[in-house]
Amino acid sequence: MDIAIRPVEPAEHALLGEITAEAYLGDGLLDYGTDDPYLAKLRDVPRRAAEAEVLVAVDAQGRVLGGVAYAPPGNPWADIAAADEAEFRMLAVSREARGAGAGEALVRACIDRARGTAGVTGIVLSTLPAMRGAHRIYGRLGFVRTPERDWNPIDDLKLLAYRLDLRPTP
């Protein structure tokens, strides 16, 4: 599939919000289903786009396949990033587009942005233990589990941390 990555357009905010919400709901990742308070944050693409960089994967016809929020160092959307790290969050791909490379293309775009930022030594992310398909993408791209950075944003919700070192190898 021919996939392009670009910034989300305002006319796509609602669609990307629904793709993101459906990815989490459809995979059973929200403890309270449609009553989960995190659902509103997943749908709030306008806020993410105002405060971070929201990227979308689109097919050759321009259809939105998925998206991600990229947070450069110091961005308020970064949860676990150190001062010299970028972070990405809310990676989601529509059910119809899964397995076609959209998720990996979005992660690669985040890596490219981090590499292009002076002083950035790594890129980090948090993920749920159940997101095994995403874990495979991260492993393929060189991310390493960093269990010492695992955290609980709320009681009974453990997030796993991954990091990709961007420093040049000697």
Digit-coded pLDDT (tens) for 63-80:
999 999 999 999 999 999
* Per-residue pLDDT at 80: 97
Q: Where are the domains of the chain?
A: 4-165
Whole-number Å distance between alpha carbons of 86 and 97: 26
Whole-number Å distance between alpha carbons of 41 and 30: 12
* Per-residue pLDDT at 122: 98
Residue 54: DSSP 8-state:
E
Taking 70 as the pLDDT cut, the residues of the chain under it are: none
Question: Which H or E element spans position 125?
Answer: strand 122-127
Digit-coded pLDDT (tens) for 122-141:
999 999 998 988 999 999 99
The CATH number for 4-165, chosen from 3.30.390.50, 3.40.50.720, 1.10.1040.10, 3.40.630.30, is 3.40.630.30
* Per-residue pLDDT at 28: 87
* Per-residue pLDDT at 29: 86
